[in-house]
């Protein structure tokens, strides 16, 4: 069997910490839906990784695991081809994490830009857990347990995927060539600005439009978003480059955005009209997503999808572990993988 796969493989996923938002959509969800049939696709619901910060609230996971799965299905992920699975139910990921942690240095993790930024956000700089510092190693195991080739992620995750690439190279060079070096892929909109104008949409800041928001939520949020503060009168010339709404026009209304930019600068479109158009555009995007969600929301549907996906993931993990044990000469009782 070796390392041969009929199709190249995608592995990506999310931490189940609450509903996914438009930032997730442009960063990763859109790519995973677009590529799901071209690649053999695995989607991880990373419950163990959630515990790297939320270890004191495991009781939220049960609902959040299902919520994140539903978000993925609602954007158009096809459960007949993509395999959505629960991280903690695939034991081979935990096994690989242990083996990888033997050769990844603490320094590499401490200097990882994503770890540094997130440690700052959570106030962990001076006192972080072993699991938090090591989450990129665990994420390398998430990606490599199925020997993935491509990892669609938001821009903030690129340094973490870099650890997976290093892990694959290092393992192959130390033991035997088992893993492809996974490539990362970010969305066209690298990062979506928050409704309050902050650098990014983030659940903890509460400046997000969620995929599951109602038409009323969308309206209220968009109409109260931060724009160019210099525009007081409708015909004041605007500065679209500093306006949150304009960045959404570029992300979700690409065709009209050059025209809006021109009219904003000339003071011939008012912010209210511009925002109303944005409300329509976002509703056109989220309306079908809301409808698909309702279809998957029937009792038992999500659970069945997760259980089937998890079973497939465990099978694939078994194949990888056979190769890993062989490469590391720890297949003591079945040398050669018999």
CB closer to ligand SF4 out of 144 and 274: 274
Q: Whole-angstrom Cα distance, residue 207 to residue 331?
A: 51
Part in contact with ligand SF4 (CB under 6 A); list of ranges 77-85, 194-202, 237-245, 308-316: 237-245
Region 286-325 residues binding ligand SF4, contact defined as CB under 6 A:
none
Structural tokens at position 279 = 């409300």
Contact 312, 145 (CB under 8 A): no
Stretch that binds ligand SF4, among 73-81, 115-123, 216-224, 238-246 (CB under 6 A): 238-246
Dist CA 156 CA 121 (whole Å)? 13
What minimum distance in Å lies between the beta carbon of 143 and ligand TRP?
Answer: 5
Q: How far is CA 3 from CA 11, 35, 51, 185, 300, in A?
A: 16, 21, 32, 22, 35
Rule CB under 6 A: say whether 246 interacts with ligand SF4.
yes
Size of the site for ligand SF4 (CB under 6 A): 14
CB of 109 to ligand TRP, least distance (A): 14
150 torsion bin: left (phi>0), alpha (psi -120 to 50), beta (else): beta
Separation CA 249–CA 222 (nearest Å):
12
Which span sits near ligand SF4 by CB under 6 A: 64-72, 111-119, 266-274, 307-315? 266-274
Which of ligand SF4, ligand TRP, none interacts with 309 (beta carbon under 5 to 8 A by kind)?
none
If we measure between CA atoms, which residue out of 56, 28, 61, 59 comes closest to residue 46?
61
Q: Which is nearer to ligand TRP, 15 or 219 (CB)?
A: 15
- Residue whose beta carbon is closest to ligand TRP: 46
Could you give the CA distance from residue 199 to residue 176 in angstroms, rounded to a whole number? 42
For residues 193, 86, 124, 20, the Cα torsion angle rounded to the nearest 10 degrees is 20
The pair of structure tokens assigned to 226 is 């931060």
The set of residues, in sequence order, having a beta carbon less than 8 Å from that of 91 and lying 6+ positions away, is 314, 317
Residue closer to ligand SF4 (CB basis): 266 or 330: 266
CB distance 278 to 244 below 8 Å = no
φ and ψ of 273, to 5 deg = -65, -40
Q: In this chain, which of 10, 264, 286, 313 binds ligand SF4, going by CB under 6 A?
A: 264
Residue given tokens 């409708």 in the structure block: 234
Q: Per-residue b/e over 256-268, b at no fewer than 16 CB within 10 Å?
A: ebeebbebbeeee
Q: Look at residue 157 and give the partner it binds from ligand SF4, ligand TRP, none, a contact being a CB closer than 5 to 8 Å depending on partner kind.
A: ligand TRP
Q: Does 271 bind ligand SF4 (CB under 6 A)?
A: yes
Q: Which of these ranges, 63-71, 118-126, 159-167, 240-248, lies near ligand SF4 under the rule CB under 6 A?
A: 240-248
**Binding flag, residue 194, ligand SF4 (CB under 6 A):** no
Nearer to ligand TRP among residue 27 and residue 79 (C-beta): 27
Give residues in contact with ligand TRP (CB under 6 A).
Answer: 11-15, 44, 46, 49, 139, 142-143, 151, 153, 157
Binder of ligand SF4 out of 23, 154, 182, 238 (CB under 6 A): 238
Please state the closest distance from residue 277 (CB atom) to ligand SF4, in A: 9
Q: What residue ranges bind ligand SF4 (CB under 6 A)?
A: 227-228, 231, 238, 240, 243, 245-246, 260, 264, 269, 271, 274-275
């Amino acid at each position: 069997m070796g390392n041969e796969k009929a199709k190249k493989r995608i592995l990506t996923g999310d931490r189940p910490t609450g509903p996914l938002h438009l930032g997730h959509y442009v960063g990763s969800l859109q790519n995973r839906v677009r590529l799901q049939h071209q690649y053999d696709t695995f989607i991880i619901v990373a419950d163990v990784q959630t515990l790297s910060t939320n270890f004191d609230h495991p009781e939220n996971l049960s609902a959040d695991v299902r919520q994140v799965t539903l978000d993925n299905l609602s954007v158009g992920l096809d459960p007949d081809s993509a395999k959505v699975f629960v991280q903690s139910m695939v034991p081979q990921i935990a096994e690989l994490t242990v083996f990888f942690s033997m050769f990844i240095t603490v320094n590499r993790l401490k200097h990882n830009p994503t770890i540094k930024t997130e440690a700052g956000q959570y106030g962990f700089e001076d006192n972080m857990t072993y699991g938090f510092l090591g989450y990129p190693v665990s994420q390398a195991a998430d990606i490599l347990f199925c020997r993935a080739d491509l990892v669609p992620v938001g821009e903030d995750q690129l340094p973490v995927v870099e650890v997976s690439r290093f892990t694959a190279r290092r393992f192959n060079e130390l033991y035997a060539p088992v893993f492809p070096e996974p490539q990362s892929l970010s969305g066209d909109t690298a990062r979506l600005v928050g409704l309050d104008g902050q650098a990014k949409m983030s659940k903890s800041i509460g400046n997000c439009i969620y995929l599951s928001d109602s038409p009323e939520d969308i309206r209220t949020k968009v109409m109260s978003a931060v724009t160019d503060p210099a525009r007081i009168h409708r015909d004041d010339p605007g500065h679209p480059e500093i306006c949150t709404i304009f960045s959404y026009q570029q992300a979700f209304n690409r065709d009209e955005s050059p025209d809006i930019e021109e009219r904003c600068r000339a003071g011939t479109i008012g912010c209210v009209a511009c925002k109303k158009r944005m409300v329509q555009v976002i509703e056109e995007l989220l309306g079908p997503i809301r409808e698909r969600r309702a279809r998957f929301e029937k009792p038992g549907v999500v659970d069945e999808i997760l259980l089937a996906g998890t079973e497939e993931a465990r099978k694939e993990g078994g194949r990888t572990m056979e190769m890993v044990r062989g490469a590391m000469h720890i297949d003591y009782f079945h040398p050669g993988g018999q």
